[in-house]
């Protein structure tokens, strides 16, 4: 994204010899409209793909992995471009993106818990009706 300018930082880059310029340290980004349109189009394509997974009735691991891939791609595009995370400093990215990843530990715990619940239910009530 070489053409994207971070306002504040970018002003300096534009006027390297103008020492008097006082830009705000807080930055915001201005990107060409085209970037948003491209991402928008990709989000449409990816949504259509994930819908087609259901439409064609794919099953098993193929279905689940395709759903997860399309989901992660869409989420990544939204966070990185629409929410401008790709241009933030690393301290910010890690503060926001790392904690939700730790939820996966909770997921693992609940998978064991759910398996155990199912096991006890089958043991006491027999297999499903």
Segment 28 to 57, residues that bind other proteins, using CB under 8 A: 28, 30-31, 33, 36-37, 39-40, 43-44, 47, 50-51, 53-55, 57
Least Å distance between CB 93 and other proteins? 9
Strands (E) in the chain, as ranges, are 5-7, 28-30
Q: Is 114 among the residues that bind other proteins (CB under 8 A)?
A: yes
Min separation Cβ 96 and other proteins, Å: 5
Q: Is 62 in the site for other proteins (CB under 8 A)?
A: no
Give the Cβ contact number of residue 59 at 10 Å: 9
DSSP label of 6? E
* 86 is a contact residue toward other proteins (CB under 8 A): no
Q: What are phi and psi of 105, to 5 degrees?
A: -65, -45
Question: Minimum distance between the CB of residue 20 and other proteins, rounded to whole angstroms?
Answer: 10
- Which C-beta is closer to other proteins: that of 2 or that of 126? 126
Question: Residue 28: enclosing H or E segment and its boundaries?
Answer: strand 28-30
Please name the helix (run of DSSP H) or strand (run of DSSP E) that holds residue 73, with its range, or none. Answer: helix 60-77
**Taking a C-beta distance cutoff of 8 angstroms, is the pair 44, 54 a contact?**
no
What SS3 class is residue 1?
Answer: coil
Phi first, then psi: give them for residue 42, nearest 5 degrees.
Answer: -65, -40
Q: In sequence order, what are the residues at sequence separation of 6 or more whose Cβ sits closer than 8 angstroms to the Cβ of residue 117?
A: none
Please report whether residue 108 would count as binding other proteins according to CB under 8 A. no
Residues that bind other proteins (CB under 8 A): 7-9, 11-12, 21-28, 30-31, 33, 36-37, 39-40, 43-44, 47, 50-51, 53-55, 57, 63-64, 67-68, 70-71, 74-75, 78-79, 81-84, 88-92, 94-96, 99-100, 103, 106-107, 110-111, 113-115, 117-118, 121-122, 125, 127-129
């Amino acid at each position: 994204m070489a053409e994207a300018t971070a306002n504040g930082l970018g002003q300096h880059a534009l006027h390297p010899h103008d020492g008097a310029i006082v830009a705000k340290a807080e930055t915001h980004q201005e990107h060409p409209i085209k970037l948003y349109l491209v991402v928008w189009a990709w989000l449409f394509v990816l949504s259509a793909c994930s819908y087609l997974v259901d439409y064609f009735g794919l099953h098993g691991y193929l279905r689940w992995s395709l759903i997860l891939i399309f989901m992660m791609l869409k989420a990544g595009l939204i966070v990185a471009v629409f929410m401008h995370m790709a241009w933030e400093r690393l301290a910010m990215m890690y503060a926001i993106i790392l904690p939700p990843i730790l939820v996966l530990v909770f997921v693992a715990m609940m998978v064991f818990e759910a398996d155990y619940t199912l096991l006890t239910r089958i043991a006491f009530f027999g297999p499903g009706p």
